[in-house]
Chains A and B, each alone.
Chain A
Amino acid sequence: MSTLATSINQQIGYTIIIVLGLIWVALGLYWGRKAKDSESFMLAGRNVGLSLGAATAMATWVTSNTMMVAPLLALNLGIWGMLAYACASFGLMLFAPLSIRIKKLLPNGYTSGDFFRQRYGRVGWSLFLVITLVYSVTWLVTMAIAGGKLLETLGAIPYLHGMTAIMAVCVLYTIFGGLYAVIGTDFIQSLIILIGVVAIGLMVFVHLDFGEIYAYVSEYQPSLLKVVMPVALLAFFNNMLFGFGEVFHNNVWWSRAFAMRKEIAPKAFFISGLLWFPIPIAAGFIAIAAGPLGVNVTDPSKVGPDVAEHVLSEAGMGAAGGALILVVLFCSIASSIDSLLAATSDLLVKDVYCGLFQKKVTDKSFRRIATTAILIVALISWALAISGLDLDVVLFSAGGLVASLIWPIIAGLFWKGCNRALVLAGIVLGVATGYYFYFEIETYTGALAGGAVSMVFTILSYFIHPKPFPEPDSVSPNVS
Chain B
Amino acid sequence: MPERFRQSRFSVFSASILFLFVALSTQPVCADIPQFTGDKAFESRKAEHDGKPFVDSSDGTVRLTWGDHAEVLAADSESDLAVYQLQQGGDESFANAVTRYEGTDVVSYLSGLSEGAHFFRVREADGEWSVPIEVKVTFIDRRHLFFLLAVGFTVAALTAGAIILGHFKHRHDS
Chain B residues near A414: list those with CB within 8 A. 162-163, 165-167, 169-170
Per-residue contact bits, chain A 438-459, to B (CB 8 Å; 1 contact, 0 not)? 0001110100110110010000
Contacts of B73 in A (CB 8 A): 1
Q: In the complex, what residue of chain A is closest to B138 when comparing beta carbons?
A: A230
For the complex formed, measure the closest distance between the CB of A472 and the CB atoms of chain B, giving whole angstroms.
12
Bound complex: CA A414 to CA B168 (Å)? 10
Provide the B112-135 mask, 1 if CB < 8 A to any CB of A, else 0. Answer: 111100000000000000000000
Is there contact, CB below 8 Å, between A407 and B78?
no
Known contacts A237-B153, A298-B108, A298-B109, A445 near B148 by CB under 8 Å? yes
**In the bound complex, how far is the Cα of B155 from the Cα of A90, in angstroms?**
14
Given contacts A94-B163, A231-B139, contact A455 B111 (CB under 8 A): no
Residue interface bits A76-120, CB-to-B below 8 A is 1, else 0: 111000000000001000100110110010000000000000000
Identify whether the interface residues of A are mostly helix, strand, loop, or mixed: helix
Bound-state CA distance A1–B101 (Å) is: 13
Chain A residue nearest to B106 (CB atoms) is A298
Number of interface residues of A (CB under 8 A): 52
- The answer on a CB contact under 8 Å between A78 and B112 is yes
State the total of A-B contacts with C-beta under 8 angstroms.
Answer: 147
> How far does the alpha carbon of A222 sit from the alpha carbon of B145 in the complex, in Å?
20
B104 and A1 within 8 A (CB): yes
Is B164 interfacial (CB 8 A cutoff)?
Answer: yes
Give the B interface residue count (CB, 8 A).
Answer: 53
When distances are taken between beta carbons in the complex, the residues of chain B under 8 Å from A1 are: 72-73, 75, 78, 81, 104-105
| Contact in complex: A221, B78 (CB < 8 Å) | no
Q: Check A126 for interface membership: any CB of B closer than 8 A.
A: no
Q: Are B139 and A230 in contact (CB under 8 A)?
A: yes
Q: Is A299 an interface residue (CB 8 A)?
A: yes
- A217's partner among B112, B137, B148 (CB-CB below 8 A) is B112
Known contacts being A1-B81, A77-B59, is A238 close to B111, with CB within 8 Å? no
Task: Please indicate which of the listed interface residues A230, A241, A298, A451 has the most CB atoms of chain B within 10 Å of its own CB.
Answer: A230
Name the one of B78, B149, B164 contacting A97, with C-beta atoms under 8 angstroms.
B164
Q: Contact check, B159 vs A407: say whether CB atoms are below 8 A apart.
A: yes
8 A Cβ contacts from B56-85 to A = 58-61, 63, 69, 72-73, 75, 78, 81
The CA of A402 and the CA of B69, in the complex, are separated in Å by 36
Residue of A nearest to B100 (CB): A220
When distances are taken between beta carbons in the complex, the residues of chain A under 8 Å from B81 are 1
Q: Quick check: is A27 within 8 A (CB to CB) of the other chain?
A: no
* Complex contact B152–A224 (CB within 8 A): no
Q: Which of A90, A97, A238 has the most CB of B within 10 A?
A: A97
A176 within 8 A of B: no
Pick from B78, B142, B155: contact of A3, CB below 8 A: B78
A394 interface residue per 8 A CB criterion: no
Query: Does A9 interact with chain B (Cβ within 8 Å)?
Result: no
Selected from A104, A224, A236, A449, the residue in CB contact (under 8 A) with B112 is A224
Which of B61, B162, B164 contacts A76 (CB under 8 A)? B61
Task: Name the B residues within 8 Å of A441 (CB-CB).
Answer: 140, 144
Whether B152 contacts A231 by the Cβ 8 Å rule is no
Residues of B within 8 A of A94 (CB): 159-160, 163
Q: How far is the CB of B34 from chain A (nearest CB, A)?
A: 15
- CB neighbours (8 Å) of B115 from chain A are 223
Measured CB to CB, the nearest residue on chain A to B145 is: A230
Q: What's the nearest-Cβ distance from chain A to residue B144, in Å? A: 8
Q: A223-B114, A413-B166 are in contact. Are A240 and B156 (CB under 8 A)?
A: yes
Residues of A within 8 A of B149 (CB): 233-234, 237
With known contacts A97-B164, A100-B167, A298-B69, A234–B111 Cβ distance under 8 A: no
- Could you list 5 examples of A-B contacts with CB < 8 Å? A1-B81, A222-B112, A223-B115, A296-B101, A414-B166
Residues on B close to A: CB < 8 A?
Answer: 58-61, 63, 69, 72-73, 75, 78, 81, 98, 100-101, 103-105, 107-115, 137, 139-140, 142, 144-145, 148-149, 151-156, 158-160, 162-167, 169-171, 173
Chain A positions near chain B (C-beta within 8 angstroms):
1-3, 75-78, 90, 94, 97-98, 100-101, 104, 217, 220-224, 229-231, 233-234, 236-238, 240-241, 244, 291, 296-300, 406-407, 410, 413-415, 441-443, 445, 448-449, 451-452, 455
Task: Please name the 5 residue pairs, one residue from A and one from B, whose CB atoms are nearest each other, closest first.
Answer: A221-B112, A237-B152, A414-B166, A97-B167, A224-B112
* Additional pairs, 4, CB under 8 Å, beyond known A229-B139, A234-B152, A241-B159: A77-B59, A223-B111, A230-B140, A231-B60
